[in-house]
Amino acid sequence: MASDDKPHAERFPFGIVGAGLGVVTRQLPPDEPPPLAPNADLAVIGRPVPRQNGRAKVTGATRFTVDISLPGMLHGRILRSPLAHAEIHGIDVTAAARHPGTRAVLVVARPDELTGATLRYVGAPVAAVAAVSMVAAAEALRLIRVDYQSLPFVADMDEARNATAPPVFDAASAPAGYASGFPARLNLPLDGNVRGPATDGRGDTAEGFAEADLVVEGEYRTQVQTHCCLEPHAIVADWRADGLTVYMSTQFTAGVRHELAEAFGLPLDRVRVIVDGMGGGFGSKSTLGSYGRIAVALSRQAQAPVRLVLDRQEEQMDSGNRPATWQRLRIGAKRDGSLTAISLVSYGTAGVALGAGVGNVAQALYACPNFAAAQYDVFTNASPGCAMRAPGNAPGAFGLEQAIDELAERLQLDPLTLRDHIDPSPVRREERRIGAERIGWRRRHAPGADPGPIKRGMGVAQSLWGANVQTNSACEVRVMRDGSVEVLSSVQDIGTGIGTVLAQTVAEVLGLHSEAITVRIGDTEFPAGPPSYGSRTTASITPPARAAAWRVLRPLFREAALALNAAAEDMAVRDGRILVRGDSGRSIDFRDAAARLRTDRISAVASRSDDYGGFRWRMADAAQARQDLGGVQFAAVAVDTETGVIRVERVVAVQDCGRPMNPLLIESQVQGGVLMGLSYALFEERILDRHTGRMVNPNLEQYKLAGACDTPAIDVVVLENYQANSATDAYGIAEPANIATAPAIANAVYNAIGLRLRALPMTPAAVLAALGKFPARS
């Protein structure tokens, strides 16, 4: 066995299982566990282990933040702007403060502060109270008198682009950085309400288009989608003389702890953030947020714990959203399909925030020597957007993948054949092969070929997402003297089942069952874990979990070797026993080995090592692997050409996430991604009243989410793709699974009716309009 305190070469499994699995030799950094075999040779990793907290969730035993109740706890509530654009000339909170139930009152938009006095969207926080009950808090809020002066506003992106549109910001107050999305750039020029362009390019597109035999061109629109977390944004803030404890439904406990320390001038060791059960985040619970800051300030003022929970209307109106976009794509190609140029211009609006670009699919999905993109953000008087499951690439793929579909048709090529020619990714090539077979692509007919009013069609679309890593992710593994094992990290389970995956990882190393591992996560008392956004949780936290487990195993091996009169290097684990490799007759129970320890426990903390193959880039604690995560989805639809109703009958999703750690959990995430993509494609839309800028459907009744009856058969296939990059070689799946669904459905609709729907959502009204069934009106 090689010594592990120095870097040394090791042979790793490499490539796609079933499509050329090979071996690669890489330098293994010091103190890293040896290469992990492919899943077929493992006992716990790669098995469909049911999530550990599944039973608690379905029986209602899980404690969500809204279930936290502390002695003396108060209830917070936020007063929000009724106007889309207004200046506050005065706020009178005396009556609210005098309400018998009131314990704290906070003015959020202070008239005497230059930046806080202007409200720029309906729902912007104005003031807040903490009171002894939710009813008292609501009553007290109604007693606050605000002197608003209404200002002209613009809520529509196209109108906001006009030079004559009311300015949402002036140059001094406009945000300069990015809120989310791609491409992320700082300090771009501002012209009226338009910030940008963020440009990207290579080669010379003018030359590229000149060389093209054929050019397709199209404009695509996507709507604002809201996150619709089943569990609302919620926080319980408990400010005490000796420190602050915050219970919060958050995607990043460690990050919120940092934000709190900074915002309230506290040392890190006086701030603790805890989350147990979580009902989704999808990007909207990534930071402390204004509601979080308000709850803590109220708790500090009242000297009592404060619970603040957004109601569904607040969720819909001000908890983030996926920005709306408009994009124009031009693609030039040779007769054989080779791409000669791609140009992209996009405008998007994240309301008063930035980050409404359409990502990097046009730039990176296909081989094309000449590329130019100019992406703009447009400010509107609407609530701030934020990251939402595959920001940028989800709307971007809706445009690009339809344009590629159109190109294939114009070239008289099968869409898969064209992609085989222009897509350099071996991963997606394999995924196309598998998916085409599953959906029965050979049965696909010419567009609009079905007789009768109901027309069926099949479509395909592809995705690309960066394989993200948070390098400062740490995990601790403890073995107690009785042989019990704990894994600890501040990493949070936002619903994906990461706790179960950690238990599997540790159990694999120690030769135990995953149920034998106690998982303690979601608490900043433990080593800081990664955020659960950017699909980086599994990629960041499972390698240190394996490394930490491997490090605690070494002293146990020494004890076992002494007991068995063997050498520590010859020890191995299996089924709860430590044994001499090649001589299974000589073994000791894992617990008996632990009982020989001199301390009550042994423990090791490990952090994420760099990818063994190096990163593509690194910025502070975030990094990206060299290879992207590819996905291909196929959809089969039925379109009723008389009612305009689209029904998705089947989706085949073939995805890559490196090493699949737990196929059961991955499958449920992919199903969630497909469902969210379907809902984006057909139903969801934030609708703002054009005359007041207020959302008219701020609920889950008129804001339409796909439900059980709208769910197609979803066939999930996950590749096993080894890249020799970390102790587990695992990457994310959440966002990749959400990108290709909408364009796959749109392409299937085209195949069904021979008409291209270039705007989302594809409602019956949109289909009937495309079919020319009623006279167009402005």
Partner 1 sequence: MNRFTWATARTIAEAAAAASTIVADAMTALPETAGPGDGTIVKAGGIDILDLLKENLLVPARVASLRDIPDLDAIVEEADSGCRLGAMATLAGLAAHPLLRQRYPAVTDAAGESASPQIRNLATLGGNLLQRPRCWYFRAAEYRCLRKGGGNCFAIPGENQYHAIFGNRPCAIVHPSTVATALVALGATVDLIDAEGAVRRLSLEDFFLPPERDLQRENDLRPHEILTAINLPPLPTSARMVHLRQGEKDAFDWPLADVAVLLDLSPEGICRSASIVLGAAAPVPHRAKPAENALLGKHIDESTAGAAARAALAGATPLAKNAYKTPLFEALIRRALLKAAAPIVKERG
Residues forming contacts to partner 1 in the complex (CB under 8 A) are 82, 135, 453, 642-645, 682-683, 687, 689-692, 694, 696-697, 701-702, 704, 706-710, 763-765, 768-769, 773-775, 777-778
* Nearest distance in Å: CB 642, partner 1: 4
* CB closer to partner 1 out of 38 and 82: 82
Nearest to 66 by CA among 321, 310, 314, 318: 310
* Nearest distance in Å: CB 142, partner 1: 9
The continuous run of DSSP H or E covering 324 comes out as: strand 324-333
* CB closer to partner 1 out of 619 and 709: 709
Alpha-carbon span 544 to 528, nearest angstrom: 11
Alpha-carbon span 295 to 17, nearest angstrom: 50
* Nearest distance in Å: CB 707, partner 1: 5
Say which residues have a Cβ less than 8 Å from residue 357's Cβ, sequence separation at least 6: 181, 182, 183, 198, 325, 346, 348, 375, 377, 392, 396
Residues β-bridged to residue 90: 147
* Nearest distance in Å: CB 763, partner 1: 6
Alpha-carbon span 256 to 271, nearest angstrom: 9
Residue 574's SS3 state is strand
Alpha-carbon span 607 to 254, nearest angstrom: 14
* CB closer to partner 1 out of 210 and 765: 765
* CB closer to partner 1 out of 563 and 687: 687
Place of tokens 């204004």: 290
Q: Are strands 145-150 and 454-470 parallel, antiparallel or unpaired?
A: unpaired
DSSP letter assigned to residue 249: -
217, 342 in Cβ contact below 8 A? no
* CB closer to partner 1 out of 102 and 340: 102
* CB closer to partner 1 out of 232 and 497: 232
* Nearest distance in Å: CB 145, partner 1: 13
* CB closer to partner 1 out of 267 and 772: 772
* Nearest distance in Å: CB 557, partner 1: 57
Tokens representing 676 are 């969210």
* Nearest distance in Å: CB 124, partner 1: 15
* Nearest distance in Å: CB 691, partner 1: 6
* Nearest distance in Å: CB 760, partner 1: 14
DSSP letter assigned to residue 658: B
Helix, strand, coil content of the chain in percent (nearest 5)? 30, 30, 40
* CB closer to partner 1 out of 569 and 774: 774
* CB closer to partner 1 out of 37 and 135: 135
* CB closer to partner 1 out of 703 and 750: 703
306, 246 in Cβ contact below 8 A? no
DSSP letter assigned to residue 519: E
| Sign of the dihedral through C-alpha 537, 543, 545, 548 | negative
487, 475 in Cβ contact below 8 A? yes
Alpha-carbon span 75 to 105, nearest angstrom: 12
Residue 30's SS3 state is coil
Place of tokens 């433990």: 526
* Nearest distance in Å: CB 459, partner 1: 20
C-alpha dist (Å) from residue 669 to 47, 277, 281: 16, 17, 13
* Nearest distance in Å: CB 693, partner 1: 11
Nearest to 520 by CA among 479, 488, 491, 549: 488
* CB closer to partner 1 out of 507 and 681: 681
* Nearest distance in Å: CB 770, partner 1: 11
CB atoms within 10 A of CB 674: 29
* CB closer to partner 1 out of 563 and 645: 645
* CB closer to partner 1 out of 164 and 778: 778
Tokens representing 536 are 């980086």
Say which residues have a Cβ less than 8 Å from residue 497's Cβ, sequence separation at least 6: 51, 52, 53, 662, 665, 668
* Nearest distance in Å: CB 709, partner 1: 4
Q: Give, in degrees to the nearest 5, the angle at Cα 768 between 766 and 773.
A: 140
